[in-house]
């Protein structure tokens, strides 16, 4: 007893832990890697998907997110914080798990989404809570100059997956894009085209291959103005 206490005293008086960058995001292989496959099985994700989600618990757990994504899930257009209200639960779960594993780079959010602060089950609860929130129509929009061009592009290249009204597909992990902030849509579309969004769908990247920045802007403005019946 005397010895352990003495040792403890000495060690606590002398030792200082090294500066640990333990909240830095890990890096996992993504679309830039040969043989990349989209949405491969992930243990953490399967746990969350199998969890009988409880939106009420999700509301409480969402506290750690709302400092950025806001109480109503509307995000913040200027800061590139995406709107989460009304998004499919499966999409929210997949995206967070991709960020946790390092398949989607997001160092800004990573410290607030690791398993030290939120469990896989809590993520499922949060996702259920967010999915049930109405999507505010107050999202950021573009300049509106090229909506006809945007519509044509969207209906030709995107609607097959994201749906005519931008509703996405929960079963296929395809995000709802309707009513999302324009700046965020533009960034994600561009990043997907340029393989900066490393967890992107390869088929979607193919569809974007010939897109100019002006095309990206037009289609993003169009998506930001879409709305899904019953979501507002």
* Site residues, other proteins (CB under 8 A): 1-2, 5-6, 8-9, 11-13, 15-23, 63-68, 76, 78-79, 81, 108-109, 111-112, 114, 116-117
State the minimum distance, in angstroms, from the CB of residue 34 to ligand HEC.
19
Beta bridge partners of 81: 76
Q: Is 205 in the site for ligand HEC (CB under 6 A)?
A: no
Q: Which listed option, other proteins, ligand HEC, none, makes contact with residue 33 (CB within 5 to 8 Å by class)?
A: none
Gap between the Cα atoms of 144 and 141, Å rounded: 8
Q: Which is nearer to other proteins, 20 or 229 (CB)?
A: 20
Question: Which long-range contacts does 192-196 make (Cβ < 8 Å, 24+ apart)?
Answer: 195/31, 195/32, 196/105
153-192: contacts with ligand HEC (CB under 6 A):
157-158, 160-162, 173-175, 177, 185, 188-189
For the bound state, the minimum distance from the C-beta of residue 10 to ligand HEC, rounded and expressed in Å, comes to 18
Does residue 23 touch ligand HEC according to CB under 6 A?
no
| Cα separation values, 154 from 47, 147, 231, Å | 34, 10, 20
At 136, give phi and psi (nearest 5°): -70, 140
> Hey, which residues between 79 and 138 contact ligand HEC (CB under 6 A)?
80-82, 84, 87, 92, 94-96, 106, 108-109, 112-113, 118, 126
82 touches, from ligand HEC, other proteins, none (C-beta below 5 to 8 Å by class): ligand HEC
Q: Identify what 200 binds: ligand HEC, other proteins, none; CB under 5 to 8 Å per kind.
A: ligand HEC
Q: Which DSSP string do the residues of 161-204 spell out, in sequence order? A: HH-TTS--BGGGTBPP-TT--HHHHHHHHHHHHTT-STT--HHH
Taking each helix axis from N to C end, the angle separating 213-224 and 182-193, rounded to the nearest 10 degrees, works out to 140
Q: Which is nearer to other proteins, 76 or 132 (CB)?
A: 76
Beta strands in 40-172 (DSSP E): none
Q: Give which of 138, 104, 131 is closest to 25, Cα–Cα.
A: 104
| Residue (82 or 150) nearer to other proteins, CB | 82
Cβ atoms of 169 and 161 closer than 8 Å: yes
For residue 2, the minimal CB distance to ligand HEC (Å) is 20
Spatial contact of 192 and 208, defined as CB atoms under 8 Å apart: yes
Q: Which residues bind ligand HEC (CB under 6 A)?
A: 64-65, 67-69, 80-82, 84, 87, 92, 94-96, 106, 108-109, 112-113, 118, 126, 157-158, 160-162, 173-175, 177, 185, 188-189, 199-201, 203-204, 207-208, 219
């Amino acid at each position: 007893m005397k010895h352990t206490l003495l040792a403890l005293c000495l060690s606590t008086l002398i030792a200082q832990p090294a500066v640990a960058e333990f909240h830095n995001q890990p890096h996992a292989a993504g679309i830039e890697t040969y043989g990349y496959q989209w949405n491969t099985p992930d243990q953490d994700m399967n746990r969350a998907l199998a969890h009988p989600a409880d939106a009420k618990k999700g509301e409480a757990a969402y506290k750690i997110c709302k400092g950025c994504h806001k109480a109503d899930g509307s995000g913040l257009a200027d800061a590139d914080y995406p709107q989460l209200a009304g998004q499919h639960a499966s999409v929210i779960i997949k995206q967070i798990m991709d960020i946790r594993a390092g398949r989607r780079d997001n160092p800004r959010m990573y410290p607030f989404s690791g398993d030290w602060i939120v469990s896989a089950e809590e993520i499922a609860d949060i996702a259920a809570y967010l999915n049930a929130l109405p999507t505010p129509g107050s999202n950021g929009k573009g300049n509106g100059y090229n909506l006809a061009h945007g519509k044509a592009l969207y209906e030709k290249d995107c609607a097959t997956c994201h749906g005519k009204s931008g509703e996405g597909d929960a079963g296929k992990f395809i995000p709802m894009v309707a009513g999302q902030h324009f700046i965020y849509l533009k960034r994600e579309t561009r990043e997907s085209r340029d393989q900066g969004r490393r967890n992107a769908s390869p088929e979607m990247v193919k569809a974007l291959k010939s897109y100019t920045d002006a095309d990206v802007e037009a289609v993003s403005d169009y998506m930001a103005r879409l709305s899904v019946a019953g979501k507002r």
